[in-house]
Chains A and B, each alone.
Chain A
Amino acid sequence: MVKVNGELLPVDGKTLAEYLETSSFDIRRIVIERNEEIVPKSAYNDVVLQNGDSIEIVSFVGGG
């Protein structure tokens, strides 16, 4: 199981890119934190989610 924004999901074994495709997150508006570091978008195809991982997906909103 992988904790995504505090919720346990059975997505271990998937890459970040594969998980994001099944989710409602808009890849153009997010950043992903894993182990206190931001994962660059160029690595989404390579990062495989492991059992016990905890990630945070931050969705930006517009206005400034």
Chain B
Amino acid sequence: MLPSRDEWQRVLIERHGEQLQEKLSKAAVAVCGLGGLGSNIAVSLARVGIGRLILIDFDKVDITNLHRQQYKAVQIGMDKTVALAANLSEIAPYLTVEVHNVKIKKDNMYDLLNNADIICEAFDRAEEKSMLADGIFEMMPDKYLISGSGMAGLGSANLIKTRKVTPHFMICGDESSDISDGMGLMSSRVMLCAAHQAHAVIRIIAGKTDF
């Protein structure tokens, strides 16, 4: 039987402390791109008890995604937003999820992201990562942005880091290993980067400023 909402919240408070859990429960976090980074970020944040997740992607689940992304074989062909929302509802049934099945561009970015406190960039292409950072800091400079850059290949896990570029902009990854160099993406290393991003979100919500 599904535990009640109150019981769920009580357990989170027991684990995280009342003050922190209250902050986590009030937070709204957007995840831009629901691939290897985004789907893993969303699972981490759902488990920790974030209040609201805004999930944005235009893509469908493909067989080539399953080696690193949080989808199931039976979900091939589904919209990633729908598939991930379904998976998250099994993990964290009282999480509020908002999905947008669109490609993020300069002209829809403000409407999609303005209600989020913190934004995770989880795109594939470097040009899209740059476009998102540019748009956010031009239109919504008070937001926090956590980007992922450099997690391809078989490099050491220890090279994945979180770096503070400005007080509102962190980059997670090794900042060098590029998927276009043909080195592939390992689920473990992508998860490491996603975990850095999710952890940066939690630390910002907790009021930590040292990165």
Measuring CB to CB, which residues of chain A are less than 8 angstroms from any residue of chain B? 28-31, 33, 36-38, 40-42, 56, 58-64
- If A37-B141, A41-B134 touch, whether A60 touches B129 (CB-CB below 8 Å) is yes
Task: Report the nearest A residue to B151, measured CB to CB.
Answer: A63
Cβ of A52 to closest chain B Cβ, rounded Å: 19
Q: How far is the CA of A40 from the CA of B126 in the complex (A)?
A: 16
- Chain B 10-42 near chain A by CB (<8 Å), digits 1 or 0: 000000000000000000000001011110000
Could you tell me if B169 and A38 are in contact, using CB atoms closer than 8 angstroms?
yes
Chain B 37-78 interface 0/1 with A at a Cβ cutoff of 8 Å (1 = within) = 110000000000000000000000000000000000000000
A40 and B179 contacting across the interface, CB-CB below 8 Å: no
Residues of B with C-beta under 8 A to A63: 36, 124, 148, 150-152, 177-179, 185, 190
Whole-angstrom distance between the Cβ of A23 and the nearest chain B Cβ: 15
Chain B, interface SS category: mixed
What does the 1/0 interface line of B132-167 toward A look like (CB < 8 Å)?
011001100100000111111000000000000111
Chain B nearest CB, measured from A25 CB (Å): 11
Q: Is B122 an interface residue (CB 8 A)?
A: yes
B152 near A36: Cβ-Cβ < 8 Å? no
Q: Is the CB of B177 within 8 A of A64?
A: no
Mask: chain B, 154-196; 1 = CB below 8 Å from A; 0 = not = 0000000000011101010101111110000100001000000
Q: List 27 A-B contacts (CB under 8 A).
A: A28-B126, A28-B127, A29-B127, A30-B130, A31-B133, A31-B134, A33-B165, A33-B169, A36-B166, A37-B137, A37-B166, A38-B165, A40-B134, A41-B134, A58-B171, A60-B129, A60-B147, A61-B149, A61-B179, A61-B180, A62-B125, A62-B179, A63-B177, A64-B36, A64-B38, A64-B129, A64-B148
